[in-house]
Amino acid sequence: MFRIPIPLRHLWLFPLIAGTFWFLTLAALLITWLANGMPKYPKQSNPYVAFISDIAAFQLKPLFLIGGTVTALAFICTVFSVHFSRYDHRMYGIDDMKWKKGASVLAMLFGVVAGLALILLAVMDTFRFHEEHAVLLLVCFIGLVSSMVLTTVVYWDQVWRPSPFRRLRAFCTASAITVFVDFCVGVAFYCFMSSGYWRVAGILEWIVAFTGAIYLWCFVGFVSVPEEGIDEAESRALLREEFE
């Protein structure tokens, strides 16, 4: 794996920015929709609860475009930082088997796919580009789920067995729980939507989306410089870097 080319003390900003921008974007859309009396939009697929893409196509579209783009770019940087940190000896320096390193590469590639698809989703809204939006939504979903699962698999050893990195273990556990909850809610969302229970499906979609912000925030603990497991020479190097 390559060394991280930027100061380690700044890596935690990527997940913080991604999670915060995503949360604020969703909150702005939801509050605007509620404040306007929960209107129904043209081509709205859910007759009771507007989906995120429905609101973003008509209200606060510039905000969704900016928020989605910043979230996507910060998410891509986050995924790269998370997997580089695992193997970079300035961070955790974990010597994995080849299949895990391969899984890390795939997680990063799927993260790029998900991020680029999210940017295109913000540009090609569901009203003006209905079919293209549906395809991009599927691509974004597949990329995001694949990246989440692969990242969880790669870092699972920090959850189920003793780790010298106590903070990392806590955040890995929180991340794994978030992925599990998001998966369960996502399956429930699909089942309710397929069965025609639109009101419940709409609420579950918003829960899945907001849970994504929590998932991103968990990565702050992944890429923060560890207090354990760094030898004295590395500690001095980090301190010099801090004051440069």
The tens digit of pLDDT for each residue in 218-236 reads 999 999 888 655 444 444 4
Does 244 map to a domain? no
The Cα–Cα gap between 103 and 94 comes to 14
Handedness of CA 32, 34, 37, 43 (dihedral sign): positive
Question: Tokens in use for 117?
Answer: 């698809």
* 200 falls within a domain: yes
Which 3 state secondary structure label does DSSP give 126? coil
The DSSP output letter for 88 is -
More confident residue, 125 or 156: 156
Total structural domains within the chain: 1
Render pLDDT for 162-207 as a digit per residue (tens, 0 to 9): 888 989 999 999 999 999 999 999 999 999 999 999 999 999 999 9
Residue 64 within any structural domain of the chain: yes
Q: Which residue has the tokens 């509050």?
A: 31
Residue 3 lies in a domain: no
Which residues constitute the domain of residue 63?
Answer: 8-239
Q: Is residue 205 part of a domain?
A: yes
Virtual torsion, Cα 165, 243, 241, 8, nearest 10 deg: 50
pLDDT at 6: 57
Give the pTM: 0.89
Answer yes or no: is 2 within a domain.
Answer: no
